[in-house]
Structure 1
Amino acid sequence: MAKRTIVTFVDDLNDEPADTTVSFGLDNQAYELDLTDKNAEELRDLIASYISAGRKVSAGRRSSGSAPKVAKPAFSGVDGAAVRAWAAGQGIEVSPRGRIKAEVIEKFRAAGN
């Protein structure tokens, strides 16, 4: 026996059959509303003054001035290989790769390195 599934979109505000899906974003959150043409037009009219005062940004781009922050190493200017070699000589266990614990770097510096 064949089975057919029919999906009907209804307006999120009034449960009438929806004509369109409106996508928008606010506070770094994307939203979608299924709306009748009338409600979609009302939404567009409500936010038109905000849209005209704003600026467009391309998808995936943050607004100006909010570039992603890149973490800086806690102890920049320290040679990781030198710290590892010193730690091995002191009997301090340090992984061969990856981040070196701050306390190990502090001890390395305190030893005059």
Structure 2
Amino acid sequence: MEFLLSSAIGLLTAAGVYLVLRARSWPVVLGLALLSYATNLFLFATGRLVLNLPPVISASAAGYTDPLPQALVLTAIVISFGMTAVIVVMALRSFFENGSDHVDGKAEDAA
């Protein structure tokens, strides 16, 4: 299971980096979303999910589930949603002002 999760994180990271390096703005937005998903999976994987244990330390429980990674993932989801909204608005504004969806604002030369 650890191999599957680490492979998924690596695949999401690789696809996100590949899309971030594209020349158009919409693949860059999708790449940033994939990178945020990979980060969320990584944060969640650091928490070591434990079954049937409470998320708080009590005297009667032999162990506990660490609630910090879950809280970090929830915070990261909210931050990535806001970041994605801002980047989409910036990409739309650039497209409407320049008439092109290239990251640098220049249209590619027609061959």
TM-score, length of structure 1 as denominator length: 0.26
Q: Which has the higher strand share?
A: 1
The structure with the largest helix share of the pair is 2
Q: Which has the higher contact order (CA 8 A, sep 6+)?
A: 2
